[in-house]
Amino acid sequence: MRSQSALYRSVSRIWKDLSWSRESLEALLKFWRRLNCRLSRSTCGHRRKFISRLRIMDSTEFGHIDPSIAEALPQGSFLMTSQADDLRAGFMTRWVQQCSQVPMLVSVAIPRGTAIEPVIRDSRHFAICSIRTDDRVIQRRFTQDPNRVEDPFVGLQCMTDVTGSPILERCRYFLDCELVGHLAMESDCRIYIGQVLSGRVMEDLEACEQLVNGNGSLRANGHSNGNGHSNGNGHTNGNGHVNGNGAHRSRRSVN
- Same domain, yes or no: 155 and 41: no
- Same domain, yes or no: 194 and 91: yes
Residue 65 lies in a domain: no
- Same domain, yes or no: 47 and 90: no
- Same domain, yes or no: 241 and 156: yes
* pLDDT 10s digits, 45-103: 555 555 555 444 444 555 677 888 888 888 899 999 999 988 999 999 999 999 999 99
Which domain CATH number covers 185? 2.30.110.10
Query: Which of 29, 59, 89 delimits the end of a domain?
Result: 59
- Residue pair 130/174 in contact (Cβ under 8 Å)? The answer is yes
User: What's the pLDDT score for residue 242?
Assistant: 40
Instruction: Report how far residue 195's alpha carbon sits from residue 163's, in angstroms, rounded to the nearest whole number.
Output: 11
Sequence-separated (6 or more) residues with CB below 8 Å from residue 163: 123, 125, 126, 127, 176, 177, 178, 197
User: Where do the DSSP E strands lie in the chain?
Assistant: 78-84, 87-93, 95-100, 105-111, 125-130, 158-159, 167-168, 173-183, 189-201
- Same domain, yes or no: 167 and 80: yes
- Residue pair 167/200 in contact (Cβ under 8 Å)? The answer is no
Number of structural domains (the chain) is: 2
- Residue pair 167/158 in contact (Cβ under 8 Å)? The answer is yes
Residue 69 lies in a domain: no
Q: Partners of 167 in the beta sheet?
A: 159
Show the domain range for 9: 2-59
Query: Which of 28, 59, 90 delimits the end of a domain?
Result: 59
What's the distance, Cα to Cα, between the start and end of the chain in Å? Answer: 92
User: What's the pLDDT score for residue 83?
Assistant: 94
Q: What angle do CA 49, 55, 60 make, to 5 degrees?
A: 145
Residue 70 lies in a domain: no
Q: Which residues of the chain have pLDDT under 50?
A: 54-59, 205, 210-255
Whether the CA torsion 144, 162, 203, 213 is positive or negative: it is positive
User: What's the pLDDT score for residue 181?
Assistant: 93
Whether the CA torsion 102, 116, 86, 134 is positive or negative: it is negative
Instruction: Report how far residue 46's alpha carbon sits from residue 211's, in angstroms, rounded to the nearest whole number.
Output: 49
> Rounded to the nearest 5°, which phi and psi values hold at 247?
-65, -35
- Same domain, yes or no: 115 and 145: yes
Cβ count near 245 (within 10 Å): 9
- Same domain, yes or no: 53 and 81: no
> Rounded to the nearest 5°, which phi and psi values hold at 91?
-150, 135
- Same domain, yes or no: 155 and 188: yes
Residue 84 lies in a domain: yes
- Same domain, yes or no: 14 and 96: no
Model-level pTM?
0.57
Instruction: Report how far residue 60's alpha carbon sits from residue 98's, in angstroms, rounded to the nearest whole number.
Output: 36
- Same domain, yes or no: 196 and 102: yes
